[in-house]
Amino acid sequence: MKTSLFLKSLLIFISLILIISCSPFIKTPKLTPEEEDFLSKVRYIITKEEKKTFIELPPAERKKFINEFWKKRDPDPSTEENEFKEMYLARINKADKLFGGEGRPGWLTDRGRIYILFGPPTQIENFKGGFMDFQRRIYRDTIVWFYDYIPIIFVDKRGNGEFELDFSSIDKVNYLLRKLKDSGKFFLREGVFFDFKVHIRKDKSNINYLIIEIPYENLWFTESNSILKTNIFLSLEIYDENKDLIINFEKNYPITLKEKELLKLKNKSFLINIPLIIGAGNYETYITIKNISSNEIQRKKLIIKIK
């Protein structure tokens, strides 16, 4: 009797497993290369809700979604042309050709991103090894783009031909983004440059920690077998009042979540805690955060005060 009962229970258990494994709601359908390409290229303009909807759609409905996505952004539906779509994709193609020599697609580089968002600059100036930062380090090459009177600076910090957006230009980029949003001429998603917050906290042992908060809802994940993954790269430089580098820190922070877990974290942030074993004073601090899955980079320069 015990053996028979065991076999019946085993059969019921196996049946349940088969039912669950066959359910269309358990596993998110994989994207085709064309769908992955679409989702990647519209990263600057797609909303979080649109992205989630697109991924969860049955494969047969995704083509319709893509058509509707561009149709909603057509500035003049009465014509056959979609001026916005044509402009956006043309900028991506142009950025790919112009800036493709930095070891990744040109439209994912710092210059490519700025080009896609704001178009070609009104003026360009090139400097060979003429840019000096506050620590008196001279970079090999510098490029300055002007949008009217606003300069955007790119520097070749490593001498490898990869031009990075300089810290001093972050505020200017944010100003141009606000102007662009206010104009209504470009459909930007919220947080097109994903952001993070920084503050100092002292624990019970009187140790100061640098706390970096990155909202989960601003992160871009890749999906595989219903598992969401990304990797956060952090670069931190801290200088004392004599302009001497006292902390030089780099680290990768992998994040792996299930979709249900991410939904619960919607209004929360991924926290990075770094102990600061330094004395009282004011410290010039440079922080770079990169979301590896989307290649989005945010840099900040700030003064931290340790009491």
Q: Is the pLDDT of residue 172 over 50?
A: yes
* Confidence tier at 131 by pLDDT (50, 70, 90): low
Q: What's the N-to-C CA distance of the chain in angstroms?
A: 75
Domain ranges of the chain: 83-183, 197-306
pLDDT value of position 274 = 93
Report the candidate in 44, 31, 38 with the shortest Cα–Cα distance to residue 294: 44
pLDDT at 189: 62
pLDDT of 82-123, one tens digit each?
A: 989 999 999 999 999 999 888 788 998 999 999 999 999 988
The mean pLDDT value for 33-56 works out to: 88
Average pLDDT over residues 157-173: 84
257 touches 264 (CB < 8 A): no
Q: What is the pLDDT of residue 183?
A: 76
Query: Percent of the chain at pLDDT above 70?
Result: 84
Q: Lowest-pLDDT range, 130-134, 194-198, 210-214?
A: 130-134
pLDDT at 63: 93
Tell me the sheet residues that pair with 230.
Answer: 255
In this predicted structure, what is the pLDDT of residue 271?
94
Q: Is the pLDDT of residue 275 over 50?
A: yes
Which residues, including other chains, have CB under 8 Å from residue 281's CB and lie 6 or more apart? 240, 241, 305, 306
Predicted model pTM: 0.63
31 pLDDT more than 60: yes
| Pair of tokens at residue 294 | 């989307």
Question: What is the rounded distance in angstroms from the CA atom of residue 107 to the CA atom of residue 116?
Answer: 7
Residue 190: pLDDT band by 50, 70, 90 thresholds? low
Q: What is the pLDDT of residues 205-257, one digit of tens each?
A: 888 999 999 988 778 777 777 788 889 999 999 999 888 899 998 999 999 98
User: What is the average pLDDT across 43-65?
Assistant: 88
Hunting for tokens 């669950």 — which residue is that?
20
Q: Which residues of 154-165 are buried (b: 16+ CB within 10 A; e: fewer)?
A: bbbbeeeebbbb
Secondary structure in 3-state letters for the chain: CHHHHHHHHHHHHHHHHHHHHHCCCCCCCCCCHHHHHHHHHCCCCCCHHHHHHHHHCCHHHHHHHHHHHHHHCCCCCCCCCCHHHHHHHHHHHHHHHHCCCCCCCHHHCHHHHHHHHHCCCCEEEEEEEEEECCCCCEEEEEEEEEECCEEEEEECCCCCCCCEECHHHHHHHHHHHHHHHHHCCCCCCCCCCCCCEEEEEECCCCCEEEEEEEEHHHCCCEEECCEEEEEEEEEEEEECCCCCEEEEEEEEEEEEEEHHHHHHCCCCEEEEEEEECCCCEEEEEEEEEEECCCCEEEEEEEEEEEC
- CATH class of the 197-306 domain in this structure: mainly beta
